[in-house]
Amino acid sequence: MSHAIQGDPPTRLAQLALVCNDPPTRLTQLALVCNDPPTRLTQSALVCNDPPTRLAQLALVCNDPPTRLAQLALVCNDPPTRLAQLALMCVVIVATSGVATAQDAPSLRPHRFTIGGAIVWSGAYDIGEATAQLRGNGPGASAPPVTLFTSDSRVTSVASPELRIGFAMTRHFALEFATSVTQPHIGVAIAGDAEAPSQQLPGEKLEQYLFEGGATWQLPVGLGAKLAPFIAGGVTFLRQLHEDRTLAETGQIYHAGGGARYFLRGGQGIGHAVGLRGDARVNFRRHGIDFENTMRTYSTFSLSLFVGL
């Protein structure tokens, strides 16, 4: 092919038109230009030599079929910029292919509800430390205290079911509501006791009710005809009950993260979709049961099955 381009001017445009019109061979033919040192300079002579309009002409070559041959007729020899122009042509072609792939990615069905059930794993997080002390019996009014032991409390990790309902505003943007009930423990770690070794105590059992509102946005990238990645964010109202259910605490949880939907059926904006969904989030809890007035951070992971209505 390289000899035909070198020696037969009437066929240069036809062969370059084939590169633009035949997507499966674009990268292969461009790779030959880059990987065949003896013909690099000769074939790179086919790039455009008009600096003010290079970008516009290259875009027209890929995106405007009626003017491809006319634009390619402008090619000539510009040795100082040959390699740069070839690299730019590669970027334009790869970007055009990427847009086409993103258009084939699955999407939501606008103005329709989805319902799903999930298993959610919530990570543990600290809720404060405390030190048990006695007043010292040393001389003076301000005798140093005597430390009996220290305790480190945390809400333990837990797995729980979750119900999630979504409404697709567009093919890529959806509003969601979810609710779940979890039952973690307040674990307590005892250390520094002179009369006993360090130990872990299970502590009391909590009941947590979570009511979440949020949104997801599907990323405009193509990972096949069934897989669709997204980013998510939202806020959750938290209500915590102590073990004897006589004292309640409330708080808020803000979350951000992402995941992916895998469509087992549907996903083309029509019909009832069925699929699997995975989420990973970072959560920022404010207020609730805590021994210190500070923001707590923990992670959650979930796997769910969803059905379009």
Write out the two tokens for 115.
């319902």
Tell me the CA distances in angstroms from 122 to 163, 167, 252, one per residue in order.
Answer: 15, 25, 15
Task: Give residue 89's pLDDT.
Answer: 59
Beta bridge mates, 304: 118, 277
Write out the two tokens for 160.
């729980």
33 Cβ contact partners less than 8 Å away, ≥ 6 residues apart: 39, 40, 43, 44, 86
- Which range is least confidently modeled, 1-15, 184-198, 293-307? 1-15
**Is 117:304 a contact under the CB 8 Å cutoff?**
yes
Percent of the chain with pLDDT over 90: 43
Measured distance CA(147)–CA(131) in Å, rounded: 7
Helix, strand, coil in percent for the chain, rounding step 5: 30, 45, 30
CA dihedral 49, 53, 55, 57 (to 10 degrees): -80
Q: Is residue 266's pLDDT more than 50? A: yes
Closest by CA position to 120, among listed 303, 309, 306, 305 = 303
Of 45 and 214, the structure prediction assigns the larger pLDDT to 214
Task: Give residue 199's pLDDT.
Answer: 85
Of 58 and 218, the structure prediction assigns the larger pLDDT to 218
Give the other-Cβ count within 10 Å of 72's Cβ. 22
Task: Give residue 143's pLDDT.
Answer: 75
- What pTM, to 2 d.p., does this model score? 0.63
Write out the two tokens for 152.
């480190």
- pLDDT category of residue 303 using cuts at 50, 70 and 90: very high
Coil/strand/helix, residue 226: coil
Task: Give residue 195's pLDDT.
Answer: 80
Task: Give mean pLDDT, residues 116-139.
Answer: 88
Average pLDDT, the chain: 76
Q: Is residue 49's pLDDT more than 60? A: no
Task: Give residue 255's pLDDT.
Answer: 98
Measured distance CA(207)–CA(248) in Å, rounded: 10
- Which of 97-106, 138-147, 290-299 has the highest average model confidence (pLDDT)? 290-299
Instruction: Enumerate domains of the chain plus CATH numbers.
Output: 2-103 (no CATH), 113-124+157-184+206-308 (2.40.160.20)
- Which range is least confidently modeled, 59-63, 129-133, 173-177? 59-63
Percent of the chain with pLDDT over 70: 65
Task: Give mean pLDDT, residues 228-238.
Answer: 97
Coil/strand/helix, residue 107: strand
Task: Give mean pLDDT, residues 265-291.
Answer: 91
Coil/strand/helix, residue 138: coil
Q: Is residue 292's pLDDT more than 60? A: yes
Task: Give mean pLDDT, residues 277-304.
Answer: 95
Q: Is residue 203's pLDDT more than 90? A: no
Task: Give residue 15's pLDDT.
Answer: 58
Task: Give residue 21's pLDDT.
Answer: 53
Give the other-Cβ count within 10 Å of 185's Cβ. 18
Q: Write out the E strands in the chain.
A: 113-122, 125-134, 146-155, 158-168, 173-182, 186-191, 199-201, 207-218, 227-241, 248-265, 274-287, 296-308
Task: Give residue 112's pLDDT.
Answer: 93
Of 104 and 94, the structure prediction assigns the larger pLDDT to 104
